Structure 1
Amino acid sequence: MNNDMLLRNLRSSIAAVRRFSAVASTGATKESGGGRDTLGRRLLGLVYAKRSAAVTIGKWKEEGGTVRKYELNRIVRELRKLRRYKHALEICEWMTLQKDVKLLAGDYAVQLDLIAKVRGMNSAEKFFEDLPEQMRDGTTCSALLHTYVQNKEAAKAEALVEKMKECGFVKNPLPYNHMLSLYVSDGQLDKIPEVIGEMKVHTKPDVVTYNLWLTVCASQNNVDSAERVFLELKKAKVNPDWVTFSTLTNLYIKSSLIEKAAATLKEMENMASRKHRVAYSSLLSLHANIGDKAGVQRVWKKLKSCFPKMNDAEYTCMIASLVKLKEIEEAEKLYTEWESVSGTHDPRVSNIILAAYINRNQMDVAETFCSRMVQNSITPCYSTWELLTWGYLKQKHTKKVLEYFKRAVGSVKKWDPDQRLIAEVFGRLNEEGSVEEAEELVVFLRNAGHVSTETYNSLLRTYAQAGTMPLLVEERMKKDNVELNKETRSLIKRINKICASEVPSLCS
């Protein structure tokens, strides 16, 4: 696995950072002694999804506790930050049943979003349709639009936006930003200028608009366009945020404009604060990408001074940054620190060190490290075994390649086949002419629910390399509902004159 792939995995990890806000005093307090018992504490302490927020609120009231709408709304916000959507939705639904709680369109918008997350898009649509007409305003429409965007329902999103225009609900940037997000994620970049042009007619772009626009420029590696967008942002007197400078820095690094990258990175670092914790992870990676070890250490020190405990994503970023800077010993020390404080035992953190050993061809060290993971109650995941498979492919160690490839596939309930990895594994067998092992691999892939024309073509290439021919290939492919293509027929023709050999009994 190369560094680019590693960085993509890191970005996914960074995007999953969860921040636990200071919620000790959230909600009404029954006792004055230090706020020991609050409704907020009870609701945030439920943790397990099977427990009911509605029951908890009811019990609180029975005990004489006071329940206020603004306090419940604050608890819902905290639960959403923690991705505990079921309990947040139960609180919203409890409020809808209370005659003395007056709900606004914004409350229904939050509830719609939670319904989409917990029960799906269709339920969210039904909820919207059943709302009183006066509550189907720009706020709830935007919430439904967000649901369509999340589900990549472009046609429904576009139809809803047209209705919102008719009703005069597009007087702020939010609906347009939703559509920009949709088109960026779908790769429909040709629609971006039209959306922005229309937005400027009805409202003014905000910083989210400009950040999305910059993302498009970055995806096209267009520095000139990005700088024009940034200049427009400043002329419009819109304040850039850390995402703005992060996007520009990434683009400058990709374009080898290191001085410009350093300048925007400095601006971004000045904006980092407790309020935007996730920015620190991005800063670590960006400083590492320009080879700035001092910057990496400075950001890490600042991060540790701001927060009492680092999360897995932050450790991952720092360890990966040290690896990128070839500071392996420091990365190992920090990993040991993570081992001692982490309660998650997330193998994705361990995989950063494992990948470093594999990239340095230290397979014995990698094997020892994998054993250490298991001893420390860190369960290897698919990526762990995949990394080892790639490592042994590089060393042409066929037995180990098959062992770890099978462990990788066997470690997941549903396997999303990596065609490149499959091709490389078959390529190793083809190079050796390992017919029996190729047949075993075909059977393994069939049992894993993945056998294709290319699988059989790879098998045939191995037979051709070995100078033998398998029996009943066409019949076996038919049984597996796999079609022969031009290459299949060419391979069969190529080895047609070779004496047929017995198909191993395991394939029958």
Structure 2
Amino acid sequence: MWTLRRASIHLKNHGLSSGIARICCGKSDIARCYLENHSSGYVETEEKSFGGLLSSTRFLNTFSTVSKPCGGVRTFSSQVGAKDSGEEDDDLDGFSELETPHDAVQDATSSDESDDELLSEGDIAVDDMQNDTESDVGKKRYTEPKAISEMTKPILATPALAVSKVLDKWVEEGNEVTQTEVSITMLHLRKRRMYIKALQLSEWLESTKHIEFNESNYASRVDLIAKVRGLFKAEEYIQQIPESFRGEVVYRTLLANCVSASNVKKSEEVFNKMKNLKFPVTCFSCNQLLLLYKRTDKKKIADVLLLMEKENIKPSLFTYQLLIDVKGQANDITGMEQIVETMKSQGIEPNTQIRTSLARHYANSGIKDKSEAILKDLEGDNISKNRWVCKKLLPIYATLGREDEVERIWNVCESKPRLGECTAAVEAWGQLKKIEKAEAAFDKMMEKVKKPSSKHFAGLLKVYANNKKLAKGKELVKRMAESGCSVGPLTWDALVKLYVGAGEVEKADSILEKATKQKKGRPLFNSYFTILDHYAKRGDIHNAEKIFQKMRQAGYVSRLKQYQTLLQAYINGKVPVYGFSDRMKADNVFPNKVMAGQLARVDAFKKTPLSELLD
């Protein structure tokens, strides 16, 4: 794993501790590629390098050194569903945000992650992947049966709270409950993110004992409870599961949901619980930590790689996918390419998702020739036969500024567009500031959607926000209301950007305040941060502190990014700040070089006895 360690994020930019780098010396390709050739701008003590979970020496000594296989891994459906061929989403036109519970909402923790399509942290389709391993990712697609089963029909047609009554009646009519019927129904409900109905179904099955529950059924139940009722309730349910079925898969499912919620403390707690229960350290669990720290604290990624090396855990395709994306987001193209070469040397070829990610990162870094070469390869000889790739190509060509290519690909789709293609076209034309064409693509989508939800409006609303079209945005919101849409976090985020872009920060703040009181989901990290950043630029310390605290109340752990922005408010307001370093230390956050400079600037505002006399 030496090569991967060489491809690490630059320490001076990302705070990876040099103490970790020292103990990595002489280790495997993946960790070496990740760490080598860096200089440290800020050195943490070795004991604090992993937030109490993976302290470099202590953590690595607590695990057995026996090699553990990765078999039987239940992956995110998004991982399994990294599609290499076209599967249409048109059958989801009836999706309603009313079926999206609080914990099901994706919480983009930074602008880096909000467009991270490879890491959509949605469903864990535990029931349906009993024999899948992470090595299957890219080979096998998560596909929903096109035919709706007899059990699925009445569930889809009824309100969530009436599922048990409808199923009782369905059985009374002489229908048989089979594992096949249950599995197909669960697939349909999960794909539509109808987690409330899926949970009702699971509860009904367990209470009526129509099928005999196994560990996968219990794990699926844990997943649904976490999504609908929260992590605490999911933990409570685990204690009710018979001990013989309370295995690694159940806890792994809870871990994945903790990671999905970006709850660092709870994720680390569950991981340690699995360790204490003597469960094997699997590739899946390590990948969950990588996914977590990719979003929350990139300096901890190296420690996870060291653990994988210590446990002799072979990186999966998803491991490489994560590391490639981390490097791309850091604009470390050389490191990204080194990881790709390491992956190939292990006999693993990049799948469509990785190639798309590479093309996107090349485009964002201005390396047009390499990005376009990958896009042409994805397209193949006949774009009409490879229609499934169009929705991937459109936004990347827009990033490259290739209006001609966006036009060419959209012409292939326009006469009979698919839902995903319409969404991608709205985004692409918006990037190119072709508002009328974005609106035309949106109108095409509306022609296909039987019952539009706020997710269908969110793309165009984002276009208006990014292009500061406040009047058009207000009109679109009015149209949403007339359509009876239930507004959720994505819509709130677009509205916040819309009003902030128009200079109406207080209005954006008010929208977020009202959204929080509605309790229809947690506002996105970016929604809060956009407002915090603008208050900081104004030097408005009172409101910056208010938003900072609201982020904490919403469950977003305070990190370096938030503290750095908050400190900027004091700098711009030319007001000294007291005890700031202690506040950070309490949250286990430590300053990098940039922030150390900011703290020094704030110190300069503090009055000395002499300056007070002169005043």
Pick from 156, 162, 171: which aligns with 1:51?
Answer: 162
Tell me, in whole angstroms, the C-alpha distance in 2 between the residues paired with 1:272 and 1:117. 41
Alignment partner, residue 307 of structure 2: 195
Q: 1:15 to 1:121 in 2, by over 3 A?
A: closer
Identity %: 21
Residue aligned with 2:161, SS: coil
How far off is 1:99 after superposition? 4.9
Alignment partner, residue 520 of structure 2: none
Alignment partner, residue 335 of structure 2: 225
Q: 1:284 to 1:487 in 2, by over 3 A?
A: same
Asked if 1:324 is matched to 2:431, the reply is: yes
Between Structure 1 and Structure 2, how many residues are aligned? Answer: 418
Report 1:121-132 matches (<5 A): 121-132=231-242
Alignment partner, residue 178 of structure 1: 288
How far off is 1:253 after superposition? 2.5
Tell me, in whole angstroms, the C-alpha distance in 1 between the residues paired with 2:171 and 2:192. 25
Q: Where does the alignment leave 5 or more consecutive residues of structure 1 unmatched?
A: 28-37, 359-365, 394-400, 428-440, 462-484, 495-508
| Aligned residues of 2:223 and 2:253 also touching (Cα < 8 A) | yes
Alignment partner, residue 67 of structure 1: 177
Aligned letter for 1:420?
Answer: D
Q: 1:374 to 1:74 in 2, by over 3 A?
A: closer
Q: 1:99 to 1:328 in 2, by over 3 A?
A: closer
Q: 1:226 to 1:16 in 2, by over 3 A?
A: closer
Pick from 237, 245, 250: which aligns with 1:140?
Answer: 250
Q: Where does the alignment leave 5 or more consecutive residues of structure 2 unmatched?
A: 1-109, 124-140, 518-522, 552-565, 576-601
Aligned letter for 2:241?
Answer: L
Tell me, in whole angstroms, the C-alpha distance in 1 between the residues paired with 2:382 and 2:180. 30
How far off is 1:457 after superposition? 11
Q: 1:160 to 1:264 in 2, by over 3 A?
A: farther
Aligned letter for 1:26?
Answer: I
| Aligned residues of 1:242 and 1:272 also touching (Cα < 8 A) | no
Asked if 1:82 is matched to 2:192, the reply is: yes
Aligned letter for 1:419?
Answer: L
Tell me, in whole angstroms, the C-alpha distance in 2 between the residues paired with 1:175 and 1:405. 39
Aligned letter for 1:132?
Answer: P
| Aligned residues of 1:69 and 1:101 also touching (Cα < 8 A) | yes
Tell me, in whole angstroms, the C-alpha distance in 1 between the residues paired with 2:304 and 2:119. 26
Alignment partner, residue 26 of structure 1: 148
Deviations 1:180-203 (A, max 9, x none): 22232222223243134235x14x
How far off is 1:70 after superposition? 1.8
Alignment partner, residue 310 of structure 1: 419
- Structure 1 or 2, whichever has the larger Rg, is 1
Alignment partner, residue 160 of structure 1: 273
Report 1:59-458 matches (<5 A): 59-99=169-209, 101-150=211-260, 151-152=263-264, 153-163=266-276, 166-167=278-279, 169-170=280-281, 173-187=283-297, 188-198=300-310, 201-202=312-313, 204-269=314-379, 280-300=390-410, 309-310=418-419, 314-338=421-445, 343-344=452-453, 347-355=457-465, 358=468, 366=469, 368-370=471-473, 372-373=475-476, 376-377=479-480, 382=492, 386-387=496-497, 389-390=499-500, 392-393=502-503, 401=504, 408=511, 412-413=515-516, 416=528, 418-423=531-536
| Aligned residues of 1:24 and 1:40 also touching (Cα < 8 A) | no
Tell me, in whole angstroms, the C-alpha distance in 1 between the residues paired with 2:365 and 2:480. 42
Deviations 1:132-184 (A, max 9, x none): 333233322322332343333243133134246x34x34x5222222222232
Deviations 1:62-113 (A, max 9, x none): 1111221121122112211211112212222333345563333222221221
Tell me, in whole angstroms, the C-alpha distance in 2 between the residues paired with 1:12 and 1:234. 22
| Aligned residues of 1:213 and 1:229 also touching (Cα < 8 A) | yes
For CA contacts below 8 A with separation 6 or more, give which structure has more relative contact order: 2
Q: 1:262 to 1:159 in 2, by over 3 A?
A: same
Deviations 1:248-293 (A, max 9, x none): 223322433222222233344459999x999754432212112233
The normalised TM-score by structure 2 is 0.56
The normalised TM-score by structure 1 is 0.66
Residue aligned with 1:287, SS: helix
Relative to its length, the structure with more helix (as a share) is: 1
Residue aligned with 1:64, SS: coil
How far off is 1:354 after superposition? 2.6
How far off is 1:12 after superposition? 8.4
Tell me, in whole angstroms, the C-alpha distance in 2 between the residues paired with 1:291 and 1:42. 48
| Aligned residues of 1:322 and 1:330 also touching (Cα < 8 A) | yes
RMSD over aligned CA atoms reads: 4.8
Q: 1:315 to 1:141 in 2, by over 3 A?
A: same
* Farther off after superposition, 226-235 or 278-287: 278-287
How far off is 1:382 after superposition? 5.0
| Aligned residues of 1:351 and 1:383 also touching (Cα < 8 A) | no
